[in-house]
Amino acid sequence: MRIDYNIEDKFDFGLLIPVLILFGLGLLAIYSSTINNTLAQDNFQRQLAWGVLSIIIFFIVYSLPTKVFKTVAIPSYFLSIVMLILVLVIGRQISGSKSWIMLGSLGFQPSEFAKIATILAVSWYLSRNNTDIDSFKDILVSLAIGLLPLMLILLEPDMGTSIVFIGVILTIVFWKGISSFSLFVVLSPTFIAVSAIFGLAYFIVGLAIIIAFLIIFKRDLFFSASIFALNLASGFFADYLFNALGPHQQKRIQAFIDPMSDPLGSGYNTIQAKVAIGSGGLAGKGFLEGHQTQLQFIPEQWTDFAFCVIGEEFGFIGSLVVLTMFLILFLRILKIAFSTKDEFLSLVVIGILSVYFIHFLINMGMVVGILPVVGIPLPFISYGGSSLVVNMLMLGIVENIYRTRKNYT
C-alpha cells in the first residue's frame, strides 16, 4: 500500500476553509447581537463549544470507512422517524413549534438529523440495481421516503424545514436522471399548490399552464387526465392546508406580499432586517456599532437573522465575503458530486449540497426581503447546536467521499 503524502488529494480545503470563515463570521454576529442581551449572553460561548464539538464530529466522520454510510442509511432513517414521532409526543415547544427533544439541559432538533438520514435513505433506494427513476413505482417510493419525515415535521409545525425536504428530494431525483416529463409530473402539484395559496385567479392560470404542458408532452388522454386531476387535488389540498396553518404563519405569507400591511406585526422583522442591512453601507457601521443590532430591533437576531448583523456591522464587503464563501463551498461540493463515480455517494453529496443551498437561498432571500419570512437558519452562521453539528457532519461525509473518490470506478 502506497502512502500518499499529497494531503490535498485526501482533503479538500476548498470545503473546510470557507466553512470556517462563515462560522467565524457567525460567531462575531452572535457575539455582537447578544452582548447587550442578558437572556442570551452565553450564546456565544455555547456556539463556540458546539463549534469545537462539530469539528471533532467532522473529523470522525471524515475518517470513517466510506461504506459505513450505505450501511447506516436505512437504520438511521428509521431512527429519525422514531425521533420525529417522539418529538410530537414529548417534545418541547419553542416559539410555536414542537421541535425540540430535551436531554437534561441540552436540547436537539430531530428534524436536523432527519435531513441527513433521509438523504442517505433516498440515495440508497435510488442507487439499487435496476431502479428506473422514470418508473411510477420508483418515483413514488423515493417521494414517499421523503414525504414521511416531511409530514411529521409539518405537524410540529415547522414549515421552513418541510420546504427543505421537498427541495432535497427533488434535487436527488433530478440528479438521478429523471426525465423532463416525470419531473414535470412531480413538480406540477407543488407549483399548483403555491398558486392556489396566492388566490383563485393564480390557481386558474396555473391550471391553464399545466394543460398547456400536457398538450406539449402529448401523452395518452387517460394519463394526462390523471395528472390534471392530481394537480387539481393538490391545489385544493394546499388551500385547505393554508387555512389550517397557524395564524402566525398565514400572516407571515401575507406580510411577505405587503410588509407594510402590518409594520408592527409580521412585516416587522422584514422591515427591520432590511433597514439593518441597508444602513450598513459599503464598509458597515463597525463591529458592535450597529444600531439595529445593538438596540435589538430584530428579536432573536442571532438565529435566523444573524446575517443582518454582518450586513449592518460589516457592510457590503461583509456581505460579499459571505456570498463568496458560500459560492466556493457550493461549487466545490458540486464538483465532488460530479466526480464521484459511485452512484449512492454522488446522490448523497448532491443531497447535502441541496440542504446547504436551500437553507442559504431561503434564509438570504428572507433577510433581504425577496422571499417570505420562513424560519430556517443560515448554515454555519446562525446560532444553533443541532444545525451546526448536522451541517458539519454532512461536510464530514462530503470530505470523506472526496478522500475516497478514486476508490470507485
- Residue corresponding to grid cell 416529463: 181
Positions touching another protein (CB under 8 A) are: 132-134, 171, 174-177, 179, 272, 274-282, 291-292, 295-299, 311, 315-316, 319-320, 323, 326-327, 330-331, 334, 337-338, 343, 346-347, 350, 353, 357, 361, 364-365, 368, 370
**Shortest separation between residue 178's beta carbon and another protein, angstroms:** 9
Which CB atom, from 115 or from 332, has the smaller least distance to another protein?
A: 332
| Residue with smaller CB distance to another protein, 78 or 338 | 338
Distance CA 79, CA 60 (A): 21
Q: Decide whether 51 or 280 has the Cβ nearer to another protein.
A: 280
Q: How far is the CB of 199 from another protein (least distance, A)?
A: 26
Cβ proximity to another protein, 113 vs 307, nearer residue: 307
Q: For the CB of residue 177, give the shortest distance to another protein in the complex, in Å.
A: 4
- Nearer Cβ to another protein (55/126): 126
Cα–Cα distance, 347 to 127 (Å, whole number): 8
C-alpha cell, 153: 415535521
Q: What is the 3-state secondary structure (H, E, C) of 267-282?
A: HHHHHHHHHHHHCCCC
Strands 97-103 and 106-108: antiparallel
CB closer to another protein, 152 vs 350: 350
Instruction: Give, rounded to a whole angstrom, the gap between the first and last alpha carbons of the chain.
Output: 19
Collapse the DSSP code of 342 into the 3-class scheme (helix H, G, I; strand E, B; otherwise coil) and give the result: coil
What is the torsional sign of CA 293, 256, 171, 323?
negative
Phi, psi (degrees; rounded to nearest 5) at 197: -70, -35
Return d(Cα 153, Cα 162) in angstroms, integer: 6
Question: What are φ and ψ of residue 97, in 5° steps?
Answer: -120, 140
Q: Rounded to whole angstroms, how far apart are CA atoms 202 and 32?
A: 43
Residue 107 CB, nearest distance to another protein (Å)? 26
Four-point Cα dihedral 200, 206, 207, 213, nearest 10: 180
Shortest distance in whole angstroms from residue 167 CB to another protein: 11
Shortest distance in whole angstroms from residue 328 CB to another protein: 10
Q: Which three cell numbers stand for residue 69?
A: 454510510
Determine contact, residues 292/276, Cβ cutoff 8 Å: yes
What residues pair up with 85 in beta bridges, in sequence order?
none
Contact assessment for residue 178 and residue 140, using Cβ atoms and an 8 Å cutoff: no
- Compare residues 122 and 207 and give the one whose CB is closer to another protein: 122
Q: Which is nearer to another protein, 63 or 339 (CB)?
A: 339
Any idea what DSSP says for residue 101?
E
Which CB, 253 or 275, lies closer to another protein? 275
Of 140, 136, 126, 120, residue with least CA distance to 401: 120
Q: Is 145 helix (H, G, I), strand (E, B) or coil?
A: helix
The CB-of-363 to another protein minimum distance in angstroms stands at 10
CB of 316 to another protein, least distance (A): 4
Q: 263-272: which pairs have CB atoms within 8 A and are 24 or more residues apart?
A: 266/373, 269/298, 269/299, 269/305, 269/373, 270/366, 270/369, 270/373, 272/297, 272/298, 272/308
Q: Which residues pair with 94 in a beta bridge?
A: 97
**Nearest-approach distance from CB 315 to another protein, in angstroms:** 6
Q: Is 337 or 397 the residue whose CB approaches another protein more closely?
A: 337
CB of 336 to another protein, least distance (A): 11
Q: Between residues 255 and 350, which has the closer beta carbon with respect to another protein?
A: 350
Least distance between another protein and beta carbon 84 (Å): 28
